[in-house]
């Protein structure tokens, strides 16, 4: 059975992983006969958002690894302990946690950096040419992981595209169901909730991405 590392960034779209994207990803991998193992870095969140009101709770603090455990029934591991050689591929789920916890892209845009534990793991996957799927805002990490010239999509948001291209990424517009495949780097990307208006729309693109990932792992 093929095995894929699924990297999460907390729990909740505004300060962690986008839950619907995470669940669709895990379901799609399971249906494809792939074992998914969830990981998250053991770091504090950038901040905590009240998802009912959309407001920041400045008095609260949460741990990314602890919060990510909510998504997969407690079955999540510290990303620092990920043995990349044991996996056939990797998926990075979207949500603002990617741009706030796994990196500071939401704050610093084109001058952003990636959390050191996350960057090390993702670079190891790239060095071993393991196929990778990045969704939603997660493709913003790709220039830091693969360097200039990596082909990707986040949909069609002009400001995000401008920042990614300033970092050296090559952006290709896709609709919500579409994917971009950088064959040279073995990287797939799909817009998911950067464009989706419903879970079914997000699911179609994610499922297409998972299908391509499984094909590339074979």
Instruction: Give 57-99 pLDDT, tens digit per residue.
Output: 999 999 999 999 999 999 999 999 999 999 999 999 999 999 9
What pairing do the DSSP bridges indicate for beta strands 151-152 and 187-190?
unpaired
The structure tokens 């990981």 sit at 39
Backbone angles phi, psi at 3, to 5 degrees: -130, 130
| 38, 82, 136, 144: the active-site residue | 136
Cβ pair 71, 38 in contact under 8 A: yes
| Token pair listed for 183 | 């064959």
DSSP 44: B
Mean pLDDT of 113-131: 98
Give yes or no: 38 in active site: no
Instruction: Give 24-55 pLDDT, tens digit per residue.
Output: 999 999 999 999 999 999 999 999 999 999 99
């Amino acid at each position: 059975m093929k095995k894929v590392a699924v990297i999460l960034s907390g729990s909740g779209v505004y300060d962690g992983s986008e839950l619907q994207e995470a669940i669709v990803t895990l379901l799609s991998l399971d249906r494809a006969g792939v074992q998914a193992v969830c990981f998250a870095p053991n770091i504090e969140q950038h901040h905590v958002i009240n998802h009912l009101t959309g407001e920041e709770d400045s008095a609260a603090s949460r741990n990314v690894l602890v919060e990510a455990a909510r998504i997969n029934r407690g079955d999540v591991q510290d990303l620092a302990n990920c043995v990349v050689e044991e996996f056939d591929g990797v998926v990075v789920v979207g949500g603002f946690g990617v741009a706030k916890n796994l990196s500071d892209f939401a704050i610093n845009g084109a001058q952003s950096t990636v959390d050191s534990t996350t960057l090390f793991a993702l670079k190891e996957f790239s060095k071993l040419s393991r196929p990778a799927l990045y969704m939603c805002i997660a493709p913003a990490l790709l220039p830091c992981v693969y360097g200039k010239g990596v082909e990707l999509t986040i949909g069609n948001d002009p400001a995000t595209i401008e920042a990614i291209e300033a970092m050296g990424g090559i952006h290709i517009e896709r609709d919500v169901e579409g994917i971009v495949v950088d064959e040279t780097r073995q990287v797939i990307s799909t817009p998911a909730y950067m464009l989706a208006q419903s879970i079914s729309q997000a699911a179609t693109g994610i499922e297409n991405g998972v299908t391509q990932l499984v094909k590339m792992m074979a």
